[in-house]
Amino acid sequence: MKKTSKTLITVVATLAITTGFSTNVDAASYRVQSGDSLWTVSQKYNTSISSLKSINNLSSNTIFVGQTLETSSKASGSTYTVKSGDSLWSIAQKHGVSVSNLKSWNNKSSNTIHAGEKLVISKSGSSASTGSGSTASVTAYKVSSGDTLSHIAKRYGVSVSNLRTWNNLSSDMIYVGQTIRLTAPTSGSKVSEPKKVSEPKQETASIAKKVVAEAKKHVGTPYKWGGTAPGGFDCSGFIYYVHKTAGMDINRASAASYYNQSVKISSPEVGDLVFFSGTYKAGISHMGIYVGDNKFAHASSSGVQITSLDNSYWSKYFTGYGAWK
């Protein structure tokens, strides 16, 4: 009976994906929804909490909304050995895949990697497909409310890096009504609204203002280790929540991972990132959002606050500024 139950669940999950009305990423993955717990997910997929933790490399029972959980082990494809200085972002770019796929194929719940680690960089037997399960034939997609670049990439079986290249995007930010090209441009292409495909500077500035406005709303919120909600934030959880709420498509990651994903700049603009090293551990250990006037918003051990970069404590650990790629 247990085997039959698993088979039925897999079939149902597959059908749900092909119709585009499921939160499952594929038959062996599940995207966490509000109210979920490891127990409810384990019940849904007829597995155990310990198995889910093992497959997803979880050290606790904590999961968060939007996180992708593997519900069964996957077969490996080609592999890549991580080198010093690598990040999931740079590896994804190098191999033309998405960060979310790298995490999915390697059962990762965060963007943390280490030198010498072997990563699966392609999934055996994978092929580009649309949300209807057929080989990709759609050439463009109009962004709807709630869409993110990674979700569009996953839906149509392409990589985020390719979407950015094909659409001349300098970051993962997209906006409602924007037309996203799903295939490489060809001469004589008739994809509509070509000018809207690239991201306008005014849209970038608008997002930056939203980020800063959202950050300021949470001044006074207490610190909470691993916190990603208004009830309590840690430093990277604050960055994740503020940017997602402002409409940016970013994954929950550590300050060090965000540092690796960013473009290093010397002069910040409002909405850029500020990084610090060695505050409680070696390397990048803290970050915030530049809000202008030489100040940054961040979730410190004292809670969310706006602090001057000339502050006697933080100035000692200041490392530099970053902008989203």
* Nearest one of 214, 205, 272 to 242, comparing CA atoms: 214
- Concerning whether 151 is annotated as a catalytic residue, the answer is no
Q: CA-CA distance, 145 to 246, in Å (whole number)?
A: 13
Give one DSSP letter per residue of 120-169, joined into a string: E-S-TT---B-TTSSBP---EEE--TT--HHHHHHHTT--HHHHHHHTT-
DSSP tag of 257? H
Q: Which of 235, 200, 181, 242 is nearest to 217 (CA)?
A: 242
* Annotated catalytic residue, options 95, 151, 218, 235: 235
Give me the torsion for CA of 32, 12, 133, 194, rounded to 10°: -30
Q: What is the distance between the alpha carbons of residues 189 and 279, in angstroms, rounded to a whole number?
A: 52
178 and 196 in contact (C-beta within 8 Å)?
yes
As given in the structure block, the two tokens for residue 188 are 């004589």
Q: Is 235 a catalytic residue?
A: yes
Q: Phi first, then psi: give them for residue 294, nearest 5 degrees.
A: 60, 30
In degrees, rounded to 5, the angle at the alpha carbon of residue 75 between the alpha carbons of residues 74 and 78 is 125
95 counts as catalytic:
no
Report the candidate in 84, 114, 120 with the shortest Cα–Cα distance to residue 102: 120
Dist CA 177 CA 172 (whole Å): 15
- Report yes or no: 55 and 168 within 8 Å, Cβ to Cβ: no
**Marked catalytic residue, from 95, 114, 218, 286:** 286
Q: List active site positions.
A: 235, 286, 298
